[in-house]
Structure 1
């Protein structure tokens, strides 16, 4: 998974480094672009006896490494 993400992000960065900015032709697109990288670390969480989010079909939640 991480290898694929790294490869994909590398392709995006390579493209941005090669392209001139459409609004700033004197700059490369990488100089005027922000890249936001996010991940989802969701899972089952409880509040008292209530489950406030699910993690089905996985057992436990993000607080467990089983």
Structure 2
């Protein structure tokens, strides 16, 4: 099962266009850029944090894949 740890309707739409139907995970990850943090580092950090929080939420589901974005 694929889980999407993102509230972005566009990401969900893109995955569905690819033939996927992920289950949405509502993760509480603050999306705040740190002072001096480059944009690419910010985006990578938030995606990792969302994926990590999502993984914790579905740990009991064997074979679960979590996409944080």
User: Under a length normalisation based on structure 1, what TM-score does the superposition of the two structures give?
Assistant: 0.29
Q: Normalized per residue, which structure has more helix?
A: 2
User: Under a length normalisation based on structure 2, what TM-score does the superposition of the two structures give?
Assistant: 0.28
| Structure number with larger C-alpha Rg | 1
